[in-house]
Structure 1
Amino acid sequence: MKKILYTLLWFVCLQTVITACKEDDPQLGPAPSSTDVTFTFEYDASNPNLVRFTNTSAIGFKPIWDFGNGVISTANQVTVPYPVEGDYNVKLTLLTAGGIANSSQVVNIAETNPLMLDIPSYNMLTGGVDAVDGKTWIIDKETPGHLGVGPNGGTFPEWYSAAPFEKENRNFYDDEMTFKLDGFNYSHVVNNFFYANGGYGATLPGSVQEPGGGDFFAPWTPQTSTWTLTDNEDGTYGLTVSNPEFIGYYHGATAYTIISLSNDEMHIKAVDPNGGDPCCTWYQRLIRKGFTRPVTPPEPLEYKIEDIEDNFQVASTIAFVNDGGGSLTTNYDNPAPVGLNTSSKVAMYIKANGAASQFANVQIRLDYKMDITTRNKFKLKVFIPSYNDYTTEGGEPWQSYSTLQKQVALKLQNRELAGNAYTTQAEVKFAGLETDKWLELEFDFSAFSDRTDFDQIVIQIGGEAIHTGGIFFIDDLELLD
């Protein structure tokens, strides 16, 4: 499709040049007419669904064919497959020294040739000739990036990529898109509403803005539609559904590029037709309805002990992961280089303000399971500033306190449990700490030395399930010998 677009743009630009030159240079040839553009076609004797076209024009130096089925060519003689019965309007355009002219003829294909439809891309998209009801696709909600957006010309959604199940209750995951080989029919069934980009959804009749977001839900009655599929030179496919239908998330496009296609999975992208530059290319991932992705058990992590140490003087030696509104800035100027800690650089820990950050923390995600049989104590220096707000109440009712705490907790977790890792964690914490001075704390996990499942270390300062934020400082994290 991109090649076609570039050809047409070149065609328009050349026409402009020829017209301009003709006004300035009377020596150019006379402007051609449609009678100057001639071509013949004949049906293949053994397969009437193959048609050979020949440019018989006596003028012109550049033929451009549009065969009425999505195929474009610039050759003088072309054989074109027409697997499906119907009338096709074939148009030949000629570029000449005097301008541009074209003519058209209708090619009639009497019968559909099912054998010509037995091609891999059609079969993967529709299920093939034996799939009477076609193949139904749904959004691959369990996969990261099942919806995303990036700049025009990109290859992945670098600006935004939806997390698994992120769009639950957004009238998105219940969409069903069915492609049939018979008649090239396409249907898009929604549960009364579909999910629409904010730039378009606001203008749709009956649309409602999603709670807490900028997109919209809009009512929809499925429309009669067809599809076309073309091969691109880069190995992708061009997929178009006829107006006013679309695939999944609505962002104004009906023409898509299939980045990858198999019997069970399809990855598509489409340029926002009204977004301009540099916005936007939208990405979606779909799977065949009923498909369950095979689960390959991960390789068990090695059980071992390694040094864990960081003094934050230079670039951190540990990869810290911010989580839930907690963040760590390493190589930060020491706010109080006195007492126990006179080093010039430390790390600044921030717990963001608000209910969304009530579980703020910073994590160290290990690529092995910790052997804490003999080395099971951590040392950490901490500075608790007095300027934080430790009096404003706000938090979850199940917590024993309701204000920001002068507290530091270190936790060991099993990351394989994902969102439930806290249920089996080992935690050591220090509460009621002094402010405005460096303290050195020792976190003793010897009571958990028989555990073999820890692969994540969590640092949490200021308490948990509290809505008030704060700023703290740490230094010299070390697993003791």
Structure 2
Amino acid sequence: MKKISKYISFILPLFLALACVEEYALDALPPTEADANFTFQPTEENDNIVRFTADGDFFMMNWDLGNGQTAEGKVATGTYPLAGTYTVTLTIFSAGGSVSTSREVVIAETDPLLLDRPIYNMLTGGASAVEGKTWKVDASRSAHFGVGPNPVGAAGNFPEWYQAAPFEKEGSGMYTDRYTFFLDGFGFRMETNGFVYLNANQGGSFPGAFDPGVGDLSAPYTAPDNLRWSLVETEGALPELTISNGGFIGYFAGGRTYQIVRLEENELFLRFVDQSNTELAWYVRLIPEDFDPGAEPEPEPEPEPQNPDVSFTLDDLVGNGRKVWTLKPAAGAFGVGPNPGSDEWFPTGVDVSGERACLFNDLYIFNSNGEYEYDAQGDVYGEPYLGISNACQPESSLAGTAGAAWASGTHAFSFTPGTPTELPKITVTGTGAFIVLPKAYNGGEYEAGPPRENESVTYDVIGYDETTEELTITIRVASTSIYWTFVLIPVND
């Protein structure tokens, strides 16, 4: 007989004796408030760190610790740096329903040591910052705002599907809003300067919402006073920052909880899930209000190539008059990162040739007469900017879409030999001409088709192995350091 689950809080002893139970009885009684009783006491390490223990044991037990923290299970621990009274609630679930019990926890004294944490100090400026620390969206930086998949894709916590260009959302309200975090009382102040930027699906919640001309909506909004912030750190997960009801940061997509991807003295990079489409995660990057990125020391210039490591010629590219190339089916052959040759942001060392087989079978053909051919081999890897959804699908899906010009076709190319200070370059020219990734062009990425007419796209040759004939090319797609890199190998035509 299978062991009866402890999840069932009420069941007839006679029924236990006569039958094996695999599911909850339909007539199970709901739990009572007494079933959700709990006790609590300070831990030995600190009176402001409190351990809570439920009297019972149920299959689901959720805690609201009254300080912005939540927990699950029979035992939970809450940290309370500030003196005050906190309402702690335990909700239990049984076969018959759920019930909650709340108790007040009084913290007698503030513990400054619990407040002196690096993550608090970075966010608020620390105890000495009486006026708090004010942040603004880093409008001058590429990818200060963008969107990617939820759950996180192979690219990690990066807006791989769309990255805003510098000042792209000027006029939306995003760049004029300010966000101040105070350590004292965990206060939060949101200064909207008249209006805010929000997802188009949230317009119904903001009277007077209007089209700012840069996508989505803006709306007049004054944030309430006495807002608060809370922060929860869970082992193995990104810290979660929550703003109390009525406040938000940067761009409103329905929620007020943000994962902190990166927090440094002069950078706050947040990720948050779109509440109207939970398959999307938005990203926003902020800097302190008084921080001037231009005042920072200039980064060290990239060393000029000393040309011998990249000995690549036109004959290497076209062979005996016609040479066919394809992506190498291996890790590192397709990716994006902060430097040429890097795939730090996507796919972070993972071989994606299996899941994107329709990309790794594409052919890139160079002819000695200056003709360049792209052959998709009948299928493409779809993305929204092409006018089709993410996934491998027939190339015929592009017909009639804004991305149709990126289908198989013939274009022109030119080759620039390397010099002691310049890398060799391959340039493809034509409406929809590209190598490997249609959306990438010099200094940007298409958000939607069609491509510009008769566009030229230039790729730097950063590596060539004369023995294996592996060819590594890269393209910079932003004024800051964002590079796509591809490794090509020749195939028999």
For the criterion TM > 0.5, the same-fold answer is yes
Taking the TM superposition and a 5 Å limit, the aligned residue runs for 1:48-59 are: 48-55=47-54, 57=55, 59=56
Once the two structures are TM-superposed, the CA of residue 54 in structure 1 deviates from its matched residue by 3.8
Is 1:19–1:99's contact at 8 Å kept on the other side of the alignment? no
| CA distance in 2: counterparts of 1:33 and 1:19, whole angstroms | 23
Change (3 A) 1:102 1:330: closer
Distance 1:101 1:220, change over 3 A: closer
Q: 2:25 aligns with which of 19, 22, 27?
A: 22
Give the match for residue 35 of structure 1: 34
Cα distance, 1:270 vs structure 2: 0.5
Equivalent in 169, 172, 187 of residue 170 of structure 1: 172
| Pairing 1:110-189 to 2, within 5 Å after superposition | 110-154=108-152, 155=156, 156-189=158-191
The answer to whether the 8 Å contact 1:66/1:92 transfers is yes
The answer to whether the Cα contact below 8 Å between 2:255 and 2:272 also exists between their aligned partners in 1 is yes
TM-score by length of 1: 0.58
Residue of structure 1 aligned with 2:86, choices 85, 88, 97: 88
**Amino acid in structure 2 at the alignment position of 1:51:** V
Supply the distance in 2 between the matched residues of 1:295 and 1:240 (Cα, whole angstroms).
35
Q: What displacement does 1:364 show?
A: 7.8
AA of the residue aligned to 1:280: L
- CA offset digits 1:273-331 (Å, max 9, x no partner): 1214xx311011111223334421213313558534544541289x9xxxxxxxxx985
- TM superposition shift of 1:192: 1.7
For each residue in 1:6-58, what CA deviation from the matched residue of structure 2 results, as whole angstroms up to 9, or x when unmatched? xxxxx9x999xx9972226xxx7x65422344333345699543334344x3x
Distance 2:412 2:126 in 1: 51
SS in 1 for 2:63: strand
Deviation at 1:66, TM superposition (A): 2.9
Q: Is the 2:271–2:281 contact (alpha carbons within 8 Å) kept by the matching residues of 1?
A: yes
C-alpha contact 2:201 2:276 (8 A) present in aligned 1: no
Which consecutive unaligned segments of at least 5 residues does structure 2 have?
1-5, 10-20, 328-332, 334-361, 375-410, 431-453, 461-473, 476-493
The one-letter code sitting in structure 2 at the alignment partner of 1:193 is F
Partner residue, 2:325: 315
Q: Aligned with 2:189: secondary structure?
A: strand
Three-state SS of the structure 1 residue aligned to 2:232 is: strand
| Alpha carbons 1:60, 1:96 under 8 Å: kept | no
Give the Cα–Cα distance (whole angstroms) in 2 for the partners of residues 90 and 272 of structure 1.
29
Distance 1:50 1:99 in 2: 31
Q: What TM-score does the superposition give when structure 2 sets the normalisation length? A: 0.57
Contact 1:260 1:268 in 2 (8 A): yes
Q: CA deviation at 1:75?
A: 5.5
Q: Which amino acid aligns with 2:249?
A: I
% of aligned pairs identical?
A: 37
Residue in structure 2 matched with residue 426 of structure 1 by the alignment: none
Using the alignment, how far apart are the partners of 2:22 and 2:326 within structure 1? 65
User: Does structure 1 conserve the Cα–Cα contact (< 8 Å) formed by 2:323 and 2:366?
Assistant: no
Is 2:268 the partner of 1:269?
no
More off after superposition, 222-231 vs 97-106: 97-106
Tell me which structure has the larger Cα radius of gyration. 1
CA deviation after TM superposition for structure 1 residue 257, in Å: 0.6
CA distance in 1, matches of 2:97, 2:197: 47
- 1:285 alignment counterpart: 285
Task: Tell me the CA shift for residue 160 of structure 1.
Answer: 0.8
Partner of 1:299: 302
Give the match's secondary structure for 1:122.
helix
Question: How has the CA–CA distance of structure 1 residues 158 and 115 changed in structure 2, closer, same or farther, with 3 Å as cutoff?
Answer: same
Q: 1-side partners of 2:246 and 2:202: how far apart?
A: 14
For residue 173 of structure 1, report the CA deviation from its aligned partner: 2.0
Shift of 1:89: 1.6
Identify the residue that residue 57 of structure 2 maps to in structure 1.
Answer: 60
CA distance in 2, matches of 1:47, 1:364: 70
Secondary structure of 2:180's match? strand
- State yes or no: 1:370 paired with 2:419: yes
- Alpha-carbon distance, 1:121 to partner: 1.1
